Structures are given as C-alpha cells and as structure tokens.
Amino acid sequence: MIVLVARYQAKPGQGDMVAERLREMVKMVKWHEPGCQLYQACRSTENPDIFLIYEHYVDQAALEAHRQMPHFLDIVEGRIVPLLAKREREFYSLVAS
C-alpha cells in the first residue's frame, strides 16, 4: 500500500476554483482508477486557500497509472497546478489500519 499526502496552497483568492476542480478529480478517480482505494480532498477550515489530498494506492504501479491518467493530466496538471502558489507531496507506507 502506497499512501500519498499532497498539500496545495492556492494563490490568494483561488481556493474556490481549486475546490471545484478537486471535486471533479475525486469523481474521476472513483470511476476510473480501481488501483486507488482512497482519494480524499480536504480544505482547511482556517484558510480557504489551503488543501490536503489523501490518497491510498494498492501498489506503485497503481500510483504510476494515476499520474498518467488523462483526467489527472487535464485536471491536476492542466487546471489546478496553475492556480497554486505551492505544492508539496509526501509518500508513506501503511503501518496499520
């Protein structure tokens, strides 16, 4: 199991647009990525321009497939990343659930 935690900081005032795009992404992952067991997008309650995305993949191949999906390239790379001031990603292995 591969766990990915991504943190996005939108450019000032772009949080609503990022949230809208993340809603699209969550739907596409659910419909098209059986190797992704969990994909959650969360928004900070203190700063509406900060997001946390929490993802579980069955293995490295599923994570790599996610990065090549047309919806990832379109929504995340094409439409979300240009709205961001900062993007951080951390990878983990699951210890217990």
What is the structure's pLDDT at 36?
97
Q: Which domain holds residue 31?
A: 1-58+89-97
The answer as to whether 77 is a domain residue is: no
What is the structure's pLDDT at 97?
79
**Residues in CB range of 77: below 8 A, 6 or more apart:** none
| Spatial separation of the C-alpha atoms in residues 59 and 66, rounded to whole Å | 11
The answer as to whether 66 is a domain residue is: no
- Average pLDDT over the chain, rounded to whole? 96
The answer as to whether 45 is a domain residue is: yes
The answer as to whether 28 is a domain residue is: yes
| Spatial separation of the C-alpha atoms in residues 79 and 67, rounded to whole Å | 15
Q: What is the CATH number of the domain that holds 50?
A: 3.30.70.100
Q: Say which amino acid occupies 5.
A: V
What is the structure's pLDDT at 58?
96
Beta bridge partners of 52: 7, 42
pLDDT digits (tens, 9 = 90+) for 70-97: 999 999 999 999 999 999 999 999 888 7
What is the structure's pLDDT at 94?
85
66-to-4, 40, 45, 70 alpha-carbon distances in Å: 12, 14, 28, 9
pLDDT lower than 50: segments of the chain: none
Q: How many domains does the chain have?
A: 1
